[in-house]
């Protein structure tokens, strides 16, 4: 493109003239600086450079970080990672060389960004999120982003989203709201992880997480206080009952006492809530992650016990009765993945009972085809959205819209392999999901999300709305 063609494309000749006239009218003492600032606002930014590197996530495992440049500055993002990848989610590209980070290095994904994605995106307008994301999808040419790597594509997609917000000179959550076509922005109810089990901790507890939801708080700041206080009361309860060693934590920051009974861990949380004095303002959520202990058509609740008796196998019907009892005896309002990811029969029946929110994680994998099937079959009534399972900001927005159009709840979720990137905090507000799951109220990579929500609430001021009792239908 010639200089004249560039000037014509952006109508710069007219804009330069306008800037000079504005400087004259302003009678500025520094016309050069005035014209420079005026032109910076008048000329649209484009992506000028994309640079990627390998960093480590919260587990000490490699992941992808991206610096994306426009004339407004540099915008950084990183891709989270899960404990395992499912067959229905976008492909996380790893090198597989056992001599490098035990096969987990991501240098191929980094190279794909630096050599292929960068070339395709330079010159693009960062505000056009959909065009950027689809350019990467078209460049990849595979159904699950296996050529370039979903970890590569996602990190660039998030960085571009941040650049787009800067170009529009609006907060990131406002830019996301604009991209989604939403007008309301709502602070989500946090689902704080208090007790960890399953694959996230070294204890014998089969279920993955026990969480609390401060639905009775008046604002997010108060919800944060409730979560922190309950967490510390729980630490005292566990110490009194099991000793200090019971306060070891799992990958998401939840305590991991070595007990296997569902009721025993729920009693601990119930006692901690009681000590806070918040009472019914705090509800309980359970992430069962039942796929991890499903064997054939049975569920092995002792799958982590070293001396398994083989007597604690449950049928799908047994699990339904167990959940019904737990919801009746404890303030449980949400259960995630109560059955295996292919056990559609039992999850449909349980959802039909209407006794709590039923969240699909392994069942859905943030996959639009799985979501559509679950909608058609009424298999659950809430989506757990993990952005790295889907691979781009645009597709994440579309998945949330699909769920919300059917009056589902939506939970924006972290992964066990996290970074200090707080993007999902802005995503939850911009899409008004009403719920966010970012781990315990401790550990830097988890608090990065919660602390960003505190900042957003402060920034919104009188306009800030906390989901509270409307946590499912925000």
Q: Cα(300)–Cα(204) distance, rounded to whole angstroms?
A: 12
| pLDDT, tens digit (0-9, with 9 covering 90-100), for 193-241 | 999 998 878 888 999 999 999 999 999 999 999 999 999 999 999 999 9
145 plus 194 within the same structural domain: no
Question: Does residue 140 sit within a domain?
Answer: yes
Distance of CA 456 to the CA centre of its chain: 16
Q: Which residue has the tokens 């090198």?
A: 95
Q: Cα(183)–Cα(168) distance, rounded to whole angstroms?
A: 16
Sheet holding 49-56, edge to edge: 49-56, 62-70, 73-78
Give the pLDDT band of residue 94 (cuts 50, 70, 90). Answer: very high
Helix (H) or strand (E) holding 392: none
Q: How many domains does the chain have?
A: 3
Describe the chain by its helix, strand, coil percentages, rounded to 5: 50, 15, 35
- CA atoms within a 13 Å half-sphere pointing along the CA-CB vector of 455: 13
Q: Is 336 annotated as a binding residue?
A: yes
Name the nearest CA neighbour of 207 among 219, 218, 199, 217.
199
Q: Cα(260)–Cα(37) distance, rounded to whole angstroms?
A: 63
276 plus 149 within the same structural domain: no
Residue 298: what pLDDT? 93
| CA distance between the termini of the chain | 48
Question: Does residue 315 sit within a domain?
Answer: yes
97 plus 203 within the same structural domain: no
249 plus 325 within the same structural domain: yes
Q: Tell me the whole-structure pTM to 2 decimals.
A: 0.90
Report the chain's C-alpha Rg in angstroms: 24
Q: Is 361 annotated as a binding residue?
A: yes
Q: Cα(74)–Cα(345) distance, rounded to whole angstroms?
A: 49
Question: Does residue 174 sit within a domain?
Answer: no
| CATH value at residue 465 | 3.20.20.120
302 is catalytic: no
49 is catalytic: no
Tell me the H-state helices in 330-406: 344-353, 368-377, 387-390, 393-405
Taking 80 as the threshold, does the pLDDT of residue 294 lie above it?
yes
27 plus 123 within the same structural domain: no
Question: What is the domain extent for residue 236?
Answer: 179-470
Q: Cα(57)–Cα(67) distance, rounded to whole angstroms?
A: 17
287 plus 436 within the same structural domain: yes
Taking 50 as the threshold, does the pLDDT of residue 44 lie above it?
yes
The single residue of 386, 404, 437, 449 carrying the catalytic annotation is: 386
Taking 70 as the threshold, does the pLDDT of residue 48 lie above it?
yes
137 plus 243 within the same structural domain: no
358 plus 408 within the same structural domain: yes
Q: Cα(399)–Cα(387) distance, rounded to whole angstroms?
A: 10
The single residue of 95, 209, 252, 337 carrying the catalytic annotation is: 252
Residue 18: what pLDDT? 66
| pLDDT, tens digit (0-9, with 9 covering 90-100), for 335-391 | 999 999 999 999 999 999 999 999 999 999 888 889 999 999 999 999 999 999 999
348 plus 238 within the same structural domain: yes
């Amino acid at each position: 493109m010639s200089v004249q063609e560039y000037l014509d494309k952006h109508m710069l000749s007219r804009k330069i003239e306008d800037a000079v006239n504005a400087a004259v009218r302003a009678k500025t003492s520094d016309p050069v600086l005035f014209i420079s600032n005026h032109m910076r606002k008048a000329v649209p930014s484009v992506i000028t450079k994309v640079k990627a590197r390998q960093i480590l996530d919260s587990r000490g495992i490699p992941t992808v970080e991206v610096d994306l440049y426009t004339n407004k500055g540099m915008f950084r993002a990183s891709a989270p990672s899960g404990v395992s990848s499912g067959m229905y989610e976008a492909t996380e590209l790893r090198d597989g060389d056992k001599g490098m980070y035990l096969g987990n290095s991501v240098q191929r994904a980094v190279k794909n960004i630096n050599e292929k994605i960068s070339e395709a995106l330079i010159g693009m307008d960062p505000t056009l999120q959909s065009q950027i994301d689809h350019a990467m999808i078209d460049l990849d040419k595979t159904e699950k982003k296996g050529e370039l790597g979903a970890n590569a594509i996602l990190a660039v997609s998030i960085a571009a989203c941040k650049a787009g917000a800067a170009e529009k000179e609006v907060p990131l959550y406002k830019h996301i709201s604009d991209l989604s076509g939403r007008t309301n922005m709502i602070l989500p109810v946090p689902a704080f992880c208090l007790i960890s089990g399953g694959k996230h901790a070294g204890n014998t507890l089969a279920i993955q997480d026990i969480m609390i939801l401060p639905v009775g708080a008046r604002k997010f700041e108060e919800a944060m206080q409730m979560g922190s206080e309950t967490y510390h009361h729980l630490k005292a309860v566990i110490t009194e009952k099991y000793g200090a060693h019971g306060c070891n934590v799992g990958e998401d920051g939840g305590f991991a006492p070595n007990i296997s009974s569902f009721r025993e861990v729920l009693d601990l949380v119930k006692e901690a809530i009681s000590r806070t004095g918040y009472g019914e303002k705090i509800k309980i959520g359970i992430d069962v992650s039942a796929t991890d202990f499903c064997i054939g058509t049975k569920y092995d609740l002792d799958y982590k016990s070293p001396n398994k008796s083989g007597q604690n196998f449950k049928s799908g019907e047994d699990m339904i009765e167990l959940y019904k009892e737990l919801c009746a005896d404890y303030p449980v309002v949400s259960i995630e993945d109560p059955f295996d990811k292919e056990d559609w029969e039992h999850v449909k029946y349980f959802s039909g009972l209407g006794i709590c929110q039923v969240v699909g994680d392994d069942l859905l994998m943030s996959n639009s085809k799985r979501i559509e099937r679950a909608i058609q079959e009424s298999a659950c009534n809430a989506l757990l959205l993990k952005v790295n399972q889907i691979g781009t900001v645009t597709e994440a927005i579309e998945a949330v819209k699909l769920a919300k159009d059917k009056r589902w709840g939506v939970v924006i979720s972290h992964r066990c392999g996290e970074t200090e990137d707080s993007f999902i905090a802005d995503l939850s507000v911009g899409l008004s999901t009403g719920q966010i799951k970012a781990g315990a109220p401790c550990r830097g990579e988890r608090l990065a999300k919660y602390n960003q929500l505190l900042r957003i609430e402060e920034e919104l001021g009188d306009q800030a709305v906390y989901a509270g009792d409307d946590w499912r239908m925000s």
